[in-house]
């Protein structure tokens, strides 16, 4: 049975996994910022309030996720069978030659694995963050799941690999036929502009485990 606390927990976890607060998730989806506030979850009389199917639909659309993706954040028995296992690659390894094919898919076998919500991309994989260049959003040791097949839009957090082997995790500011502009998550580090001819691949971050 799906409980009131389960669905609200899923919203909180879903927001956190995408580096957002519940209010930030609501704003990203075009909803009132108070839509998912804890004060909205029960009435003054103590009656349980459930989020609307429209609000759930909007946050899924905003984050380009399926309902199956969302359900994994319920936790416990309600989410059983909704996860997939993906290979985990360290950031240092990601920069080496031979670990990815031309499409940005990891090659080889024997990787460590992690579970994350089932996605529409069977080639999704995980990268383990190292260093402080992506703080405060991603910290050393965090694991982000990357989807090479996911569409990328302005404002998405992405991983980009240059043909020189440099791997960057930043926010997409703008992409044109000539270059890709990236915003640094840690403002102590500079933004980057990468000519298209120097990009080996770029993929969207779809999930984070902290």
pLDDT digits 0-9 by tens, 180-196: 999 998 888 889 999 99
Note the pLDDT tens digit of each residue in 107-152. Answer: 655 567 666 666 667 778 888 887 777 788 878 888 888 888 888 9
86: confidence class by pLDDT, cuts 50, 70, 90: confident
Domains and CATH numbers, the chain: 4-79 (1.10.260.40), 83-209 (2.10.109.10)
Collapsing DSSP states into helix, strand and coil, what is residue 151?
Answer: coil
pLDDT number for residue 134: 78
**Sheet strand arrangement including 157-162:** 112-117, 83-90, 125-128, 143-147, 199-209, 157-162, 167-175, 179-183, 192-195
Q: Picking from 43-52, 65-74, 164-173, which range would have the lowest pLDDT averaged per residue? A: 65-74
Neighbours of 55 (CB within 10 A): 18
pLDDT number for residue 21: 92
């Amino acid at each position: 049975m799906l409980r009131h606390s389960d669905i609200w927990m899923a919203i909180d976890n879903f927001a956190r996994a995408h580096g957002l607060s519940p209010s930030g998730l609501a704003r990203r989806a075009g909803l009132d910022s108070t839509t998912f506030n804890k004060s909205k979850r029960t009435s003054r009389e103590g009656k349980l309030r459930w989020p609307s199917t429209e609000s759930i639909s909007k946050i899924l659309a905003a984050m380009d996720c399926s309902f199956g993706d969302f359900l994994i954040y319920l936790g416990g028995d309600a989410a059983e069978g909704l996860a997939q296992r993906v290979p985990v690659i360290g950031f240092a390894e990601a920069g080496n030659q031979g670990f990815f094919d031309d499409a940005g898919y990891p090659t080889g076998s024997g990787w460590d694995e992690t579970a994350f919500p089932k996605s529409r991309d069977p080639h999704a994989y995980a990268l383990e963050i190292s260093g402080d260049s992506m703080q405060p959003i991603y910290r050393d040791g965090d694991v982000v799941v990357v989807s090479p097949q996911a569409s990328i839009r302005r404002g998405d957090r992405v991983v980009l690999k240059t043909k020189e082997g440099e791997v960057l995790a930043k926010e997409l500011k703008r992409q044109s036929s000539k270059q890709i502009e990236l915003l640094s998550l840690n403002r102590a580090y500079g933004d980057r502009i990468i000519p298209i001819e120097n990009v080996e691949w770029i993929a969207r971050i779809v999930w984070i485990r902290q």
